[in-house]
Structure 1
Amino acid sequence: MKYRNYLIMLLLAGSLPLRAEEDGKDLFLAAMNGKEERVITLLNQGVDVNSKNGSGRTALMAACFSGNLRSVKTLLAYGADVNAADSAGSTALMDALIFGDEEIINLLIKSSANVNAQDAQKLPLLERAKKSNSEKIIKILEDAGAKGATPPPPPEPTAEELAAKKAEEEKAATELAGKSKKKR
């Protein structure tokens, strides 16, 4: 019984490593819930700071989505990939936009977050920010060089449009030729 209690204490204190698949899950949950001490313990035990869950989401994404600034700072200090994308193409900066924490957004940008990243639907960050109607966040992104959606190229002209344009050009050429003959 004495050893069992000691083992439980060690597990709770984070002194014994968990299985690898549990480590990433624990790091994700600790970051999401703002349990900075647990985040540090797991990282010091060698948990991969960039481990991903089944959807490809990282602990940094979870911390940004939940607005846990201390966890974000800790994960970045341990080398979290600020531009990692999940299976939907979302990044930590996109998650920070959802929570709307300007300090986290600025920190990610200072940590080289790609302000022109696009998700799987090709929606740029700036367009996401515009949907939130936060003028401050829009300005932060624009000041960092974020670009909006590029307009699609103009459609190719149809056969009818090409024929009409050619007829107009021929008519203009005929009129111009007629005016030159009159001047002589």
Structure 2
Amino acid sequence: MSLVELIAQADERGLAASGLACLDRCVPVLGGDDDVLRPLWASLAEGGDWTGPLAEARSALGSCAGPADRAAGGGASHEAVTLTRRMLDAAPAGHSGAEVREWADGCSVAALQVHRLLDTAPSGATRSVAARREGRADGTSSLSPSPQSALSSPLVAAELRRQVRILELLSNRGAGPAGGLRQALDVSMEGRRVLRAVVSRRARGRG
């Protein structure tokens, strides 16, 4: 099942967690620490209101200036910062309702774009983000690797796999609500570590 199909079938809780996970993985771009979005995860797990934690996260990340945020002269790093801030700014006040579906879908696209921008693969090797989300990365309807997939951006491919995995975990009723969120957070943490390393390498390269 493609990423687009998984998002279309997800319930409100799954959508909120999916969008939050996309934002969480991109936090290193803004220079935020690993725990800055923890209150939002906790609110989602408890089924409570996340208006307060969301305001706190915006305040904390608004004062950050990470390696990518300090990039001079625009470019890929600056665009990645802009996309990540838009994810944060667009987060709905509540994690239910029609707005959360639009936000989750937008976060999926933005996170893939952030990873595309920060990847070191040749630009010609980067497949369309829209095609990847629809399962058409290699001209087929499958997300399975093929000989052609080796030409695709590795950072984007890994992010796509994480987005799919998280939605699959959240749709697994056998794991229970708390278990699915815990596993989704673990997957997102792994992706955040990868992107933090990428951002650090780019910063050292500019130095």
Bucket of the pairwise TM-score, normalised by the shorter protein: under 0.3
Per the normalisation by structure 2, the TM-score is: 0.20
* Larger-Rg structure: 1
Considering Cα pairs closer than 8 Å and 6+ residues apart, tell me whether 1 or 2 has the greater RCO: 2
Per the normalisation by structure 1, the TM-score is: 0.22
Instruction: Flag the structure with higher helix content.
Output: 2
